[in-house]
Amino acid sequence: MTNLSEAAPHRLLGLYDSPFVRRVAVTMQLYGIPFEHVSLSVFRQMDAMRPIN
């Protein structure tokens, strides 16, 4: 099993305006899962989000 602190950080996509993004961020911090927050709006930045989704 891989140690989460040694793994490459996950990318959390979305705005902190979203309760779902906030909930995931809090949970990942609580469990010590490294992540990088990428602030993208599904509606305002649809072209940037489309290839990722």
> For residue range 20-49, what is the model confidence (pLDDT) as tens digits?
999 999 999 999 999 999 898 877 887 777
Cβ atoms of residues 49 and 40 within 8 Å:
yes
Whether this model's pTM surpasses 0.85: no
Helices within 1-53 (DSSP H only)? 19-30, 46-49
CA distance 10 to 8: 7
Residue 11 has pLDDT above 60, yes or no: yes
Cβ atoms of residues 48 and 40 within 8 Å:
yes
- Give SS3 for 50: coil
CA distance 29 to 9: 12
Can you list the domains of the chain with their CATH numbers? 10-49 (3.40.30.10)
